[in-house]
A and B are shown apart, each in its own frame.
Chain A
């Protein structure tokens, strides 16, 4: 029976990759452990090793093919004694092991939606004048470009963290920075979060402008004393004399299948603390414009990225110096019947839900918060005054969440405008499970957003 060779998943978040090179040809004998191909993910080029022995019967995906989905058949291996005639049966047979599909964030069970009406597609606000040239950029590239531009602009800016230099970044966010700026300004640290966070704050107190990368914010719990007690509070404790111009950045929240200790969203933790600014970008434009602003800001900033968003592509303005204001939300879509407030990866559910709601005839206004602290509650209030209904969407735990704070402030400031209770769609109140089905349940999804909107709009 011929064996299918499938496109492997080479990272927790990989959904597709490029088949860069075949190292074996059809007819070659293969032993287990042989490197048969090279595959490029958005993070790295990886070698694929054969698991089984046999003869490479047929290559199904030519080298150089982009966007090969995980688990797609890429070749067929003939077992000992089989000849090419066995291929005929195999090619049409179902894949031997239709393993769980790569995690696709919250694909709704809801019915497919026709192309959303024009109204829902109209961006309500733009960060740049009409006619600005645009280009495609992943969030990953946007973050890298933001750092590179600011490092060119200011010699006091440097980046430090685990694997940021020679490895080119654990998630390849710092790719190329070592080559351009050298080891003095792109610094590989030991695995010592508490220590290098403190070292960074000390350097910032001395006037440098460090960018401290945490491989994930889950590891920043080791360092949280320095972020809060040293970075956030010193300006106040010194009567305004001594601050810490520093950016703590890295992926935050759930990635895919990495379990409870690597999946937490810390937005509300940091947003709790006066003296910090907390940013949680969604798009590549958010990422670039806000990271540049964060690096220039004289205050300590917690910049919460998301691993799943890193590889996503967005249009961003192709201009010299694209900087966005910190503390200003963006109305992504205008609408009249309900306000949806989200930020970071929550926006992916929110925008899909808005599309589906539009198809159902419900007009949703979508606000991308962008900054968590300072919170642009005015933009939210203005919208709620128009729609009378509010649903917040985030991946974090519900207790003492950012959603809780928004709900509190809205009832305080716009009580008379509310036509329904405020609902929040959040991650479930459980440590993140590993099993694929449970993980999916633990995270919010588009269906939950739609259900919440139906509830607040009293729609059946």
Chain B
């Protein structure tokens, strides 16, 4: 298992309580990516990172208000899952949601303009950072109440089952949300009815300022479904290849009518919980160590260069392309007008 996993505050990873799902994961050899996969992952992760860096910058300039939760450091999780999913599979997540939107194909201009509260934002400026949706792209938000998306995502999976459409819902939540009661209410129903939903726990090690060890009686979150008989595995969420491989297993399990599956993505956020969080609950060294030794983008970059699949210049070109997309989004988000005042009273009821 990757180093990232071993740094979890809870050493539950080695406890005897682990069930077959997790054990299976530990034994999985890394499935290497081919050139296209590596370059795809590189570009997608880089887009999220550059986008989030820009969002942080705009926040600092006072152009983005309220809460803004950046995804920097966790990019491999959504990109690996996106590479494993099929068209029609749905995603739903909490408030740290920009990365999910980008991988689901939502327009970066629309996302950034929503962050600045403009009329061209995906929710016409009425949702903000935590509330964007796209039925066409099968992205169901963007939810600000910790844990609510787990029940909602179970409902998306329920709809798939009701319609026998073969799709799987992916419900993302954090280590913090994993202690909410409705998560377990959802686990119970999902397993009882064999609902096709993958529960993706993005364990970035801190629920706001409280570490997993300080908030959770058991810290191997992949086993949180054990009492319901839901298989779970701990995944190195900093390695996009591990994420994709685990996601394929999980999605297949759900798609074949075997019920829900839990993936604990062991990952790390480099920034504070939100823009206003100084993150004094952890050391600079801890953050620096993750950045230098486990950065999801750097891992791909190194492999691509080592394999000779791209040159430094090729990668620079990708970065340049990505930066152009982000710059265009930022430009739009600053020049697009605020919503018309008449929008105050629209979209309340159909």
Question: A199 and B151 in contact (CB under 8 A), knowing A239-B123, A239-B347, A242-B135?
Answer: yes
Question: A239 and B348 in contact (CB under 8 A), knowing A202-B151, A203-B159?
Answer: no
Are A238 and B90 neighbours in the complex by a CB distance under 8 Å?
Answer: no
Per-residue interface assignment for chain A, residues 124 to 159, with 1 indicating a CB less than 8 Å from any chain B CB and 0 otherwise: 000000000000000000000000000000000010
Q: What residues of A have a CB within 8 angstroms of the CB of B10 in the complex?
A: none
B349 at the interface (CB under 8 A from A): yes
Distance (whole angstroms) from the CB of B122 to the closest CB of chain A: 7
Distance (whole angstroms) from the CB of A281 to the closest CB of chain B: 20
Interfacial residues of chain B within 188-203, with CB under 8 A of chain A in the complex: 188-189, 192
Residue of B nearest to A202 (CB): B155
Partner of B158, one of A203, A226, A239: A203
Bound CA–CA A205/B152 (angstroms): 8
* Among A194, A205, A206: residue with most chain B CB under 10 A: A206
Interfacial residues of chain A within 197-245, with CB under 8 A of chain B in the complex: 197-208, 225-226, 229-230, 234-243
* Among B142, B152, B189, B192: residue with most chain A CB under 10 A: B152
Are A237 and B131 neighbours in the complex by a CB distance under 8 Å?
Answer: yes
Distance (whole angstroms) from the CB of B118 to the closest CB of chain A: 11
Chain B contact residues (Cβ within 8 angstroms of A): what range? 35 or more
Bound CA–CA A226/B182 (angstroms): 10
Bound CA–CA A117/B144 (angstroms): 58
A444 at the interface (CB under 8 A from B): no
Bound CA–CA A196/B150 (angstroms): 11
Are B182 and A274 neighbours in the complex by a CB distance under 8 Å?
Answer: no
Residue of B nearest to A225 (CB): B145
Partner of A208, one of B121, B145, B159: B159
Q: What residues of A have a CB within 8 angstroms of the CB of B135 in the complex?
A: 241-242
Chain A contact residues (Cβ within 8 angstroms of B): what range? 35 or more
A348 at the interface (CB under 8 A from B): no
Q: What residues of A have a CB within 8 angstroms of the CB of B192 in the complex?
A: 190
Partner of A189, one of B92, B143, B181, B189: B189
B132 at the interface (CB under 8 A from A): yes
Interfacial residues of chain B within 121-163, with CB under 8 A of chain A in the complex: 121-128, 131-135, 140-145, 148, 150-160, 162
A109 at the interface (CB under 8 A from B): no
Number of A-B contacts (CB under 8 A): 142
A250 at the interface (CB under 8 A from B): no
Are A192 and B152 neighbours in the complex by a CB distance under 8 Å?
Answer: no
Question: A205 and B181 in contact (CB under 8 A), knowing A195-B189, A198-B186?
Answer: no
Residue of A nearest to B151 (CB): A198
Are A197 and B151 neighbours in the complex by a CB distance under 8 Å?
Answer: yes
Are B152 and A202 neighbours in the complex by a CB distance under 8 Å?
Answer: yes
Interfacial residues of chain B within 108-127, with CB under 8 A of chain A in the complex: 121-127
Q: What residues of B have a CB within 8 angstroms of the CB of A201 in the complex?
A: 151-152, 155
Q: What residues of B have a CB within 8 angstroms of the CB of A277 in the complex?
A: 349
Q: What residues of B have a CB within 8 angstroms of the CB of A189 in the complex?
A: 189
Residue of B nearest to A300 (CB): B349
Are A237 and B127 neighbours in the complex by a CB distance under 8 Å?
Answer: yes
Q: What residues of B have a CB within 8 angstroms of the CB of A194 in the complex?
A: 151, 181-182, 185
A317 at the interface (CB under 8 A from B): no
Bound CA–CA A242/B124 (angstroms): 13
Question: A190 and B92 in contact (CB under 8 A), knowing A198-B155, A238-B132?
Answer: no
Distance (whole angstroms) from the CB of B188 to the closest CB of chain A: 6
Are A226 and B350 neighbours in the complex by a CB distance under 8 Å?
Answer: no
Are A202 and B350 neighbours in the complex by a CB distance under 8 Å?
Answer: no
Are B92 and A202 neighbours in the complex by a CB distance under 8 Å?
Answer: yes
Bound CA–CA A236/B125 (angstroms): 10
A275 at the interface (CB under 8 A from B): yes
B346 at the interface (CB under 8 A from A): yes
Distance (whole angstroms) from the CB of B114 to the closest CB of chain A: 9
Bound CA–CA A197/B134 (angstroms): 22
Bound CA–CA A190/B347 (angstroms): 34
Q: What residues of A have a CB within 8 angstroms of the CB of B152 in the complex?
A: 198-199, 201-202, 205, 226, 230
Question: A236 and B347 in contact (CB under 8 A), knowing A190-B189, A195-B151?
Answer: yes
- List the 10 closest A-B pairs by CB distance, nearest first: A202-B155, A198-B151, A195-B185, A239-B124, A206-B159, A202-B152, A240-B347, A237-B131, A239-B123, A203-B155
| Additional 5 contacts, C-beta under 8 A, given A240-B346, A241-B134, A299-B349 | A198-B186, A206-B159, A208-B158, A237-B142, A239-B125
